[in-house]
């Protein structure tokens, strides 16, 4: 499984011999590979005028390109804001609520993300092929797909420590611009151009996996909520900045000095008392691939996040705590 930004053939269809050799070597004797492009074919074609583009078939004859467009900009942010507005309007009738839920299109974005991740996972697991995922910059929908594909395929990523490593590798170190994408919440009247809830969309998809496979993830909803809060407003520096260049190690020059002046979120979450509350009491290691259903009836609203401010989770939390207590006394 590979990820990258878009190739840069531009309007003159320039070639990059190094890229061609790299992808040829990645096949390692395999008959073919797949390029999962998270843009539409039209958007990829238009990107050529700005210096970007797609892989030319003549230069990459053993690679098949698959376009699976995923929203990543203003449309996704507006969808997120419409859903939050609907969830916080307690005066809605049933018909009006269902209409606004459908009109937000948030669940459609969740379905599209899971479907694309399943496609990448199927190419890897069933076709035994090499898969390259990219969109435009390679720091948004690309990371969404590769991270979800690894959760589906790799049981190690479904443990608490493995999931933390996945986030560190596929989101933080890979350069997802948290500062630009999560600068303001859906409640803010301002709509910055760079704002886009890609990371919340990923967390929602993970929650869908946990709901469909309640014993396959070592962590529960509390961790996902803590990560959501950490991305938008946190006492820790893990999600600060837009890339690793803005989070240098001690002794290097940088105005932010994130790693020097802040604490790490993982250090707090891994404290024994905190870690205990994050674990899923139903967890049983599952070495199999988990294939989520992406049928419309299978995708549900993440009530623990979107309804958290209008409906108390006190009784649900008590039920989980009691379940942990019963399992510990067995």
Stretch 294-316: mean pLDDT: 86
Q: How far apart are alpha carbons 2 and 230 in whole angstroms?
A: 28
Q: Which pLDDT belongs to residue 94?
A: 95
- pLDDT tens by residue, 13-25: 899 999 999 999 9
In this prediction, what percent of the chain has a pLDDT beyond 70? Answer: 93
Split at pLDDT 50, 70, 90, the class of 289 is very high
Q: Are 186 and 88 in contact (CB under 8 A)?
A: no
Stretch 43-72: mean pLDDT: 91
Split at pLDDT 50, 70, 90, the class of 11 is confident
Task: State the SS3 of the chain.
Answer: CEEECCCCCCCCCCCCHHHHHHHHHHHCCCCCEEEEECCCHHHHHHHHHHCCCCCCCCCCCCEEEEECCCCCCHHHHHHHHHHHHHHCCCCCCHHHHHHHHHHHCHHHHHHHHHHHHHHHHHHHHCCCCEEEEECCCCCCHHHHHHHHHHHHHCHHHHCHHHHHHHHHHHHHCCCCCHHHHCCCCCCCCCCCCCCCCHHHHHHHHHHHHHHHCCCCCCECHHHHHHHHHHHHCCCCCCCCCCCHHHCCCCCCCCCCCHHHHCCCHHHHHCCHHHHHHHECCCCCCCCCCCCCCCCHHHCCCCHHHHCCCCCCCHHHHHHHHHHHHHHHHC
Split at pLDDT 50, 70, 90, the class of 192 is confident
Q: What is the domain partition of the chain in residue ranges?
A: 2-309
CATH number of 2-309: 3.90.190.10
Structure token digits, residue 49: 């005028």
Q: Which pLDDT belongs to residue 288?
A: 96
Q: Are 255 and 261 in contact (CB under 8 A)?
A: no
Structure token digits, residue 271: 């404290």
From the list 149, 120, 131, 121, the residue with the least C-alpha distance to 23 is 131
Strand partners, 36: 66, 133
From the list 287, 148, 280, the residue with the least C-alpha distance to 218 is 280
Q: Are 228 and 328 in contact (CB under 8 A)?
A: no
Q: Which pLDDT belongs to residue 253?
A: 58
Distances (CA, A) of 249 to 146, 239, 242, 252, 262: 26, 15, 15, 6, 12
Q: Are 71 and 136 in contact (CB under 8 A)?
A: no
Split at pLDDT 50, 70, 90, the class of 87 is very high
Supply the pTM of this predicted model: 0.91
- pLDDT tens by residue, 146-157: 999 999 999 999
Split at pLDDT 50, 70, 90, the class of 330 is low
Q: Are 109 and 79 in contact (CB under 8 A)?
A: yes
Split at pLDDT 50, 70, 90, the class of 316 is confident
- pLDDT tens by residue, 234-261: 788 888 878 877 766 555 555 567 777 7
- For the ranges 81-85, 116-120, 147-151, the lowest mean pLDDT is seen at 81-85
pLDDT at residue 10 tops 90: no
Q: Are 52 and 136 in contact (CB under 8 A)?
A: yes
Q: Which pLDDT belongs to residue 241?
A: 79
Split at pLDDT 50, 70, 90, the class of 93 is very high
């Amino acid at each position: 499984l590979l990820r990258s930004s878009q190739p840069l053939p531009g309007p003159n269809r320039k070639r990059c011999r190094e890229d061609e050799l790299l992808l040829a070597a990645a096949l390692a004797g395999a008959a073919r590979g797949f390029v999962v492009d998270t843009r539409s074919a039209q958007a990829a074609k238009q990107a050529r005028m700005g210096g970007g583009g797609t892989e030319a078939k003549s230069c990459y004859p053993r690679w098949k390109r698959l376009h699976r467009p995923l929203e990543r900009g203003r449309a996704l942010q507006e969808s997120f804001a419409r859903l939050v507005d609907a969830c916080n309007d307690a005066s809605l009738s049933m018909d009006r609520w269902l209409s606004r839920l459908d009109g937000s299109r948030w669940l459609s974005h969740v379905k599209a993300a899971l479907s694309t991740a399943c496609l990448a996972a199927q190419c890897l697991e069933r076709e035994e092929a090499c898969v390259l995922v990219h969109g435009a910059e390679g720091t948004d929908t690309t990371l969404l797909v590769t991270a979800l594909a690894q959760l589906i395929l790799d049981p190690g990523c479904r443990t608490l420590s493995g999931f933390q490593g996945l986030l560190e590798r596929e989101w933080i170190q890979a350069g997802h611009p948290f500062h630009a994408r999560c600068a303001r919440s859906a409640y803010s009247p301002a709509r910055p151009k760079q704002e886009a809830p890609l990371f919340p969309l990923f967390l929602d998809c993970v929650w869908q996996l946990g709901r469909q496979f309640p014993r396959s993830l070592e962590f529960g909803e509390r961790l996902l909520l803590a990560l959501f809060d950490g991305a938008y407003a946190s006492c820790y520096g893990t999600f600060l900045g837009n890339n690793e260049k803005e989070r240098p190690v001690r002794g290097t020059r940088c105005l932010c000095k994130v790693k020097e002046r802040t604490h790490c979120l993982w250090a707090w979450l891994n404290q024994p008392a905190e870690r205990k509350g994050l674990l899923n009491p139903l967890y049983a290691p599952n070495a199999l691939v988990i294939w989520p259903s992406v049928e419309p009836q299978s995708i549900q609203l993440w009530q623990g996040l979107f309804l958290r401010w209008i409906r108390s989770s006190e009784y649900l939390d008590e039920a989980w705590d009691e379940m942990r207590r019963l399992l510990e006394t067995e």
